[in-house]
Homo-oligomer: A and B are copies of this chain.
Amino acid sequence: MGEVFLDRDVLSGEDEERLAALAAEVRELTEAMVHTRVSPAEAASVAAEVAALTARLNAARRDRPPYGTVGANGLDRQIANPVTGRLNPIAPPVNFEVCEDGIVRAEFTLPSVYEGPPTFVHGGVSAMIMDQVLGMAAAATGTPGMTATLETRYRRPTPLGVPLTVEAKASRVEGRKIYADGTICGPDGRVTVEASAMFIAPQIRPDAL
Protein backbone atom coordinates (compact mmCIF):
# COMPACT_ATOMS: atom_id res chain seq x y z
CA MET A 1 0.00 0.00 0.00
CA GLY A 2 2.90 2.39 -0.53
CA GLU A 3 5.53 3.95 1.70
CA VAL A 4 5.18 5.03 5.28
CA PHE A 5 5.60 8.72 6.17
CA LEU A 6 5.66 9.77 9.83
CA ASP A 7 4.04 6.40 10.61
CA ARG A 8 1.33 7.09 7.97
CA ASP A 9 0.62 5.30 4.75
CA VAL A 10 1.41 7.23 1.59
CA LEU A 11 -0.91 6.20 -1.24
CA SER A 12 -0.28 5.54 -4.88
CA GLY A 13 -2.16 7.80 -7.26
CA GLU A 14 -4.43 4.91 -8.22
CA ASP A 15 -5.32 4.15 -4.59
CA GLU A 16 -6.02 7.81 -3.99
CA GLU A 17 -8.35 8.04 -7.01
CA ARG A 18 -10.32 4.97 -5.97
CA LEU A 19 -10.72 6.19 -2.38
CA ALA A 20 -11.56 9.73 -3.53
CA ALA A 21 -14.35 8.26 -5.66
CA LEU A 22 -15.67 6.41 -2.62
CA ALA A 23 -15.43 9.57 -0.48
CA ALA A 24 -17.40 11.48 -3.14
CA GLU A 25 -20.19 8.90 -2.87
CA VAL A 26 -20.20 9.19 0.95
CA ARG A 27 -20.51 13.00 0.55
CA GLU A 28 -23.59 12.46 -1.65
CA LEU A 29 -25.02 10.07 0.96
CA THR A 30 -24.48 12.72 3.66
CA GLU A 31 -26.27 15.36 1.61
CA ALA A 32 -29.14 12.93 0.93
CA MET A 33 -29.28 12.10 4.66
CA VAL A 34 -30.02 15.69 5.75
CA HIS A 35 -32.79 16.01 3.15
CA THR A 36 -34.46 12.63 3.28
CA ARG A 37 -38.03 12.14 4.40
CA VAL A 38 -38.27 8.41 3.79
CA SER A 39 -40.41 6.37 6.15
CA PRO A 40 -39.01 5.25 9.52
CA ALA A 41 -38.89 1.66 8.21
CA GLU A 42 -36.92 2.70 5.13
CA ALA A 43 -34.55 4.85 7.23
CA ALA A 44 -33.89 1.88 9.50
CA SER A 45 -33.34 -0.40 6.51
CA VAL A 46 -30.84 2.03 4.93
CA ALA A 47 -29.09 2.40 8.32
CA ALA A 48 -28.57 -1.37 8.46
CA GLU A 49 -27.12 -1.34 4.93
CA VAL A 50 -24.78 1.51 5.85
CA ALA A 51 -23.57 -0.47 8.87
CA ALA A 52 -22.82 -3.44 6.60
CA LEU A 53 -20.75 -1.22 4.28
CA THR A 54 -18.85 0.18 7.29
CA ALA A 55 -17.97 -3.38 8.27
CA ARG A 56 -16.71 -4.08 4.73
CA LEU A 57 -14.45 -1.00 4.82
CA ASN A 58 -13.20 -1.88 8.30
CA ALA A 59 -12.24 -5.39 7.16
CA ALA A 60 -8.89 -3.89 6.10
CA ARG A 61 -8.13 -0.87 8.20
CA ARG A 62 -5.14 1.45 8.74
CA ASP A 63 -4.25 2.52 12.27
CA ARG A 64 -4.21 6.15 11.15
CA PRO A 65 -5.65 7.98 8.12
CA PRO A 66 -3.30 8.04 5.12
CA TYR A 67 -1.15 11.12 5.11
CA GLY A 68 -0.42 11.89 1.49
CA THR A 69 0.17 10.84 -2.04
CA VAL A 70 3.44 10.79 -3.85
CA GLY A 71 2.76 12.25 -7.27
CA ALA A 72 3.99 14.63 -9.89
CA ASN A 73 3.53 17.57 -7.51
CA GLY A 74 5.38 15.93 -4.65
CA LEU A 75 3.93 14.93 -1.33
CA ASP A 76 0.44 16.31 -0.78
CA ARG A 77 -0.37 15.87 2.90
CA GLN A 78 -3.97 17.10 2.69
CA ILE A 79 -5.77 14.05 1.31
CA ALA A 80 -7.58 13.07 4.53
CA ASN A 81 -7.80 16.59 6.01
CA PRO A 82 -11.30 17.60 7.28
CA VAL A 83 -11.35 20.88 5.31
CA THR A 84 -9.88 20.02 1.93
CA GLY A 85 -9.18 16.30 1.90
CA ARG A 86 -10.53 14.45 -1.13
CA LEU A 87 -10.54 11.29 0.99
CA ASN A 88 -12.47 12.86 3.88
CA PRO A 89 -16.24 12.91 3.31
CA ILE A 90 -16.81 15.68 5.86
CA ALA A 91 -14.48 18.06 4.00
CA PRO A 92 -16.26 20.72 1.95
CA PRO A 93 -15.48 20.37 -1.74
CA VAL A 94 -12.70 23.00 -1.67
CA ASN A 95 -9.69 22.33 -3.88
CA PHE A 96 -7.04 24.91 -3.09
CA GLU A 97 -4.49 26.03 -5.65
CA VAL A 98 -1.16 27.45 -4.49
CA CYS A 99 -0.13 30.10 -7.05
CA GLU A 100 3.44 31.15 -7.78
CA ASP A 101 2.93 34.54 -6.14
CA GLY A 102 2.15 32.79 -2.84
CA ILE A 103 -1.60 33.33 -3.10
CA VAL A 104 -3.68 30.29 -2.17
CA ARG A 105 -7.12 30.26 -3.73
CA ALA A 106 -10.14 28.12 -4.51
CA GLU A 107 -13.56 28.42 -6.05
CA PHE A 108 -16.21 26.32 -4.36
CA THR A 109 -19.93 25.93 -3.72
CA LEU A 110 -21.27 24.68 -0.41
CA PRO A 111 -24.31 22.41 -0.13
CA SER A 112 -26.91 22.38 2.67
CA VAL A 113 -24.94 20.19 5.06
CA TYR A 114 -22.82 23.29 5.82
CA GLU A 115 -25.84 25.48 6.65
CA GLY A 116 -25.98 27.70 9.75
CA PRO A 117 -28.61 30.45 9.48
CA PRO A 118 -31.27 29.46 6.92
CA THR A 119 -29.78 29.48 3.37
CA PHE A 120 -26.36 30.72 4.63
CA VAL A 121 -23.04 29.03 5.42
CA HIS A 122 -22.48 28.31 9.14
CA GLY A 123 -20.07 30.93 10.53
CA GLY A 124 -17.97 28.17 12.05
CA VAL A 125 -17.60 26.48 8.66
CA SER A 126 -16.31 29.75 7.18
CA ALA A 127 -13.81 30.03 10.06
CA MET A 128 -12.69 26.44 9.46
CA ILE A 129 -12.07 27.13 5.77
CA MET A 130 -10.17 30.33 6.62
CA ASP A 131 -7.92 28.49 9.08
CA GLN A 132 -7.02 26.02 6.35
CA VAL A 133 -6.37 28.54 3.57
CA LEU A 134 -4.39 30.87 5.85
CA GLY A 135 -2.31 27.92 7.04
CA MET A 136 -1.58 26.94 3.46
CA ALA A 137 -0.61 30.55 2.64
CA ALA A 138 1.73 30.51 5.65
CA ALA A 139 3.23 27.19 4.50
CA ALA A 140 3.72 28.64 1.01
CA THR A 141 6.41 30.93 2.52
CA GLY A 142 8.42 27.78 3.17
CA THR A 143 7.75 27.93 6.90
CA PRO A 144 4.63 25.92 7.79
CA GLY A 145 3.28 26.35 11.31
CA MET A 146 0.44 25.60 13.67
CA THR A 147 -2.31 28.19 14.19
CA ALA A 148 -1.64 30.48 17.15
CA THR A 149 -4.40 33.04 16.59
CA LEU A 150 -7.25 33.25 14.07
CA GLU A 151 -9.48 36.30 13.80
CA THR A 152 -12.53 36.03 11.56
CA ARG A 153 -14.71 39.02 10.67
CA TYR A 154 -18.11 38.43 9.10
CA ARG A 155 -19.02 41.30 6.74
CA ARG A 156 -22.25 39.83 5.38
CA PRO A 157 -23.88 36.39 5.22
CA THR A 158 -22.17 33.84 2.93
CA PRO A 159 -24.76 32.14 0.71
CA LEU A 160 -25.05 28.39 0.17
CA GLY A 161 -25.37 26.90 -3.30
CA VAL A 162 -23.61 29.63 -5.29
CA PRO A 163 -19.96 29.94 -6.43
CA LEU A 164 -17.71 31.40 -3.72
CA THR A 165 -14.04 32.38 -3.91
CA VAL A 166 -11.56 32.03 -1.05
CA GLU A 167 -8.11 33.57 -1.21
CA ALA A 168 -5.23 34.11 1.22
CA LYS A 169 -1.63 35.26 1.28
CA ALA A 170 1.10 35.51 3.91
CA SER A 171 1.95 39.11 4.79
CA ARG A 172 5.18 38.61 6.76
CA VAL A 173 7.46 36.15 8.53
CA GLU A 174 9.12 37.17 11.82
CA GLY A 175 11.34 34.40 13.10
CA ARG A 176 9.03 31.45 13.81
CA LYS A 177 5.88 33.59 13.40
CA ILE A 178 4.08 33.73 10.05
CA TYR A 179 1.19 36.17 9.45
CA ALA A 180 -1.47 35.72 6.77
CA ASP A 181 -4.71 37.37 5.66
CA GLY A 182 -7.56 36.21 3.47
CA THR A 183 -11.17 36.57 2.35
CA ILE A 184 -14.22 34.69 1.15
CA CYS A 185 -16.16 36.49 -1.60
CA GLY A 186 -19.67 35.88 -2.90
CA PRO A 187 -20.59 35.53 -6.58
CA ASP A 188 -20.93 39.34 -6.85
CA GLY A 189 -17.28 39.70 -5.78
CA ARG A 190 -18.17 41.32 -2.46
CA VAL A 191 -16.27 40.15 0.62
CA THR A 192 -18.43 38.12 2.99
CA VAL A 193 -15.71 36.99 5.43
CA GLU A 194 -12.25 38.41 6.23
CA ALA A 195 -9.69 36.63 8.38
CA SER A 196 -6.19 37.12 9.73
CA ALA A 197 -4.05 34.52 11.44
CA MET A 198 -0.67 34.06 13.02
CA PHE A 199 1.08 30.70 12.80
CA ILE A 200 4.08 29.48 14.77
CA ALA A 201 6.57 27.12 13.16
CA PRO A 202 7.44 24.16 15.39
CA GLN A 203 10.91 24.05 16.91
CA ILE A 204 12.71 21.09 15.41
CA ARG A 205 14.07 19.01 18.28
CA PRO A 206 17.37 17.31 17.50
CA ASP A 207 15.92 13.94 18.60
CA ALA A 208 13.18 14.26 15.96
CA LEU A 209 15.68 14.27 13.11
Contacts and interface: CB of A to CB of B under 8 A. Distances in A.
Contact of A152 (B18, B60, B149): B149
Contacts of A114: 82, 90
Contacts of A151: 149-152
Contacts of A117: 146
Interface stretch (A35-43, A97-105, A164-172, A174-182): A35-43
A116 interface: yes
A14 B43 CA distance: 12
B157 A35 contact: no
A201 to B, nearest CB: 12
Contacts of A61: 32, 35-37
Contact of A124 (B22, B53, B83, B123): B83
Interface residues of A, number: 85
B32 A58 contact: yes
Contacts of A24: 47
A39 B14 CA distance: 11
A43 B30 contact: no
A87 B33 contact: yes
Contacts of A19: 33, 36, 43
A36 B56 CA distance: 9
3 closest A-B pairs by beta carbon, nearest first, are: A124-B128, A124-B131, A123-B147
Given A26-B26, A147-B152, 6 more contacts: A18-B43, A26-B33, A32-B54, A35-B65, A39-B60, A46-B56
